[in-house]
Amino acid sequence: MKFINISFFCVLLVVLTTKTTTAQKLHLNSNKGIINNINSPNMKFKSIDIGDCKWTEGFWADKYKNAEEVMVPHMEEILTGDVGFALDNFKIAAGLKKGKHQGMHWHDGDFYKWMEAAMYVYANNKDAKILERLESYIEIIGKAQEESGYLHTEISIDDNLEPYQERRFHEMYNSGHLYIAASIYYRITGKTNFLKIAIKNADNLYKIFSPQPEELARFGFNQVQITGLVELYRTTNEKKYLELAQLFIDMRGKSKVKPHKTVRFNMIGDMTQERTPFREEKEAVGHAVLGLYMYTGAADVYAETGEKALINTLDRIWGNIVEKKMFITGACGQAHDGGSSHRDFVHEAFTLDYQMHNSNSYNETCANLCNAMFNYRMLSIKGESKYADIIETVMYNSALSGIDIKGENYFYTNPLRRSFDQHLGGTDYKTRQPYIPCFCCPPNLVRTIAKLSAWAYNLSSNGVVVNLFGGNKLDTRLLDGTKLKLFQTTNYPWEGNVSIKIEKCKKTAFDIFIRVPQWANGTKILVNGKEISQTISVGSYAVLNRKWKKGDVISLDLPMNVKLYTGHRRIEETRNQVAIKRGPVVYCVETADLPAKTDVLDVYIPSKIKLESVYESSLLGGVTTLNGNVKLKRSTRENIMYPNIEGTTWETYKAKFIPYYSWSNRGEGEMTVFMSLIWE
């Protein structure tokens, strides 16, 4: 009996010692930022912790509720069932099931993104069943991981494939999403089981790539691993992960133009952002998702290193995107296929400056979301509101257009025009689909909606920054450790009145940054009912510094005027055409709101059109529509390629315009954002 007791205590001691040693060995960072940049030295704004901000009512509260109740559970059914089969791939790789890999090369990453979305939901509702299922999935993923740390189900399942022999398999893309999901899981739950899988994989990646073998010089394809490695560095304090992230940036432009055997002929040059060394790049080039993930990762690296060459390049690229290659909806990816400024073949890509197709624009949902991710990093680094303006533009327009009102059907591409006679192929669809074989966009969108509240605020050196407007409550700590509680009420974006009430704060003076959007000319800001005396500049933050107290109220009055926008004179696709915006929301006209047999291209906008704003609670989940008289062109020569104007007549019609994100929720139909202009 004595021997047994001694043995028991010995075993207990070993277990306790092992746990302590593991925790000490990992040197984990206990901070819980959505991006764990609290210790990043080169950032003006820091992230609030996950769960500090919760939507309470209004637009984003409704979208989050839909994500919690429909989007996330519905997507789980897809990815763990017979349609999406992502979990099956892990089971097969783990030896728990027999079969062949199904889905795209990057399907593991789709599952990690969904897991990340589920974690944000769990962070808010603490539903034990969500955590229980995630734990079971992590156990399967751990069993699928090879002893070396390598983790990629397709190659593990197929005995004819070897790791890192063909870049198109997206191995490091999957790894990047693994690192992000595992870091978030640790921050929310405190559990290290998922994180250990990620660390083991990253250690293997470092072992293989840090020597920089020539045959692997081109393996920086779809570079989520850069952001993932930086986030893993921030979580573990292991500097080699940051070094490896920078190495993948350094590799750009070092390899020769001639393809290596690991690269297909059309995955070189500008297509994959590797014709030019990154620090010499002057424009956004190539595959839009690949590029924006890399720019996001480079911004993360700069936040840690402060290397001026990196931020100079990012400034140039950001300017090129926003001023010459971004759509009015915040979307990116001008064409399905085309040529770069060097005339390299590019696909799903940034192409030439001002080449902005309406019908044939690609605008993959992932690219649009990556644009928001990139801008959130730039916002944190620079502290300038122009980046938050773009985040807002993306989220209200080209992000939400990727999912239907129900939260169950998806678009992959998000063009600005769709016509009945338009040739569609590949990932273009007439209406949203319940499952897209290339399933990268849906979980990317859902995880972004689920975490958006964490982007609503940032922390400044002595205060808080209001980036996004929406009914919410904030319960956080400022960087000096003092508590701050705010309560925001608004019916934005349908109305422009925003109220921010202080419920708890420190006794000494601190800053509250209020974003004034670029479009909001005539904005008024009041504190406790009295208009502030300082000058308000659109496209900037109004910095309010004072000794705040419980009960103080900041009131923001944003004029929600309807405005017509035209394109730059060099954009041939929008010459003599206009788009309609009200606040941050871009509008479109859709077949469902036009007379029968009317082509959306026959809608002409009078230059002095008067548009009435009407909130319709029963339409498209509740939207503000715009209503006004347009001209409909009627022609007897519509099938002639170059008709003269004989036989053309005009009809006045009171048209209804709906938010662009809400189109294609009433069956198949035509749609256009840009419409021809009639000068009055």
Cis geometry, peptide bond prior to residue 493 (ω within 30 degrees of 0):
yes
E strands, 538-622, in order? 540-546, 553-557, 562-565, 577-582, 585-590, 603-606, 612-616
At residue 491's C-alpha, the angle toward residues 485 and 496, to 5°, is 100
Which of 152, 146, 157 shows the shortest CA–CA distance to 176? 152
Look up residue 161 and give its two tokens: 């494939």
Look up residue 623 and give its two tokens: 């939207």
Residue 155 to residue 69: CA distance in whole angstroms: 35
Give the pLDDT confidence of 535-550 residue by residue, as tens digits. 999 999 999 999 999 9
What pLDDT score does 168 carry?
A: 85
Query: With 50 as the cut, is the pLDDT of residue 15 above it?
Result: no
Give the pLDDT confidence of 550-564 residue by residue, as tens digits. 999 999 999 999 999
User: Domains of the chain: which residue ranges?
Assistant: 31-407+423-455, 457-557, 562-678
- At 464, the pLDDT band (50, 70, 90 cuts) reads very high
CATH of 457-557, one of 3.30.67.10, 2.60.40.1180, 3.50.50.60, 1.10.3720.10: 2.60.40.1180
Residue 471 to residue 56: CA distance in whole angstroms: 5
Percent pLDDT > 70 in the chain is 94
Cβ neighbours around 384 below 10 Å, total: 15
Give the pLDDT confidence of 58-78 residue by residue, as tens digits. 999 999 999 999 999 999 999
Query: With 90 as the cut, is the pLDDT of residue 324 above it?
Result: yes
Give the pLDDT confidence of 129-139 residue by residue, as tens digits. 999 999 999 99
Query: With 80 as the cut, is the pLDDT of residue 5 above it?
Result: no
In this prediction, residues 192-218 reach a mean pLDDT of 93
- At 264, the pLDDT band (50, 70, 90 cuts) reads low
Residue 469 to residue 228: CA distance in whole angstroms: 29
Which of 44, 31, 53, 184 shows the shortest CA–CA distance to 456? 53
Give the pLDDT confidence of 568-622 residue by residue, as tens digits. 999 999 999 999 999 999 999 999 999 998 999 999 999 999 999 999 999 999 9
In this prediction, residues 379-391 reach a mean pLDDT of 98
Residue 590 to residue 644: CA distance in whole angstroms: 27
What pLDDT score does 167 carry?
A: 82
Query: With 50 as the cut, is the pLDDT of residue 12 above it?
Result: no
In this prediction, residues 501-527 reach a mean pLDDT of 98
Give the pLDDT confidence of 629-671 residue by residue, as tens digits. 999 998 766 678 888 888 789 999 999 999 999 999 999 999 9
Query: With 50 as the cut, is the pLDDT of residue 355 above it?
Result: yes
Residue 193 to residue 669: CA distance in whole angstroms: 48
Q: Which residue has the higher pLDDT, 644 or 422?
A: 644
Query: With 60 as the cut, is the pLDDT of residue 16 above it?
Result: no
**What is the identity of the amino acid at 627?**
N
Q: Which residue has the higher pLDDT, 223 or 583?
A: 583
Query: With 60 as the cut, is the pLDDT of residue 162 above it?
Result: yes
CATH number of the structural domain 31-407+423-455: 1.50.10
What pLDDT score does 647 carry?
A: 79
Residue 301 CB contacts under 8 Å (≥ 6 apart), including other chains: 226, 230, 242, 245, 246, 249, 307, 310
Query: With 60 as the cut, is the pLDDT of residue 443 above it?
Result: yes
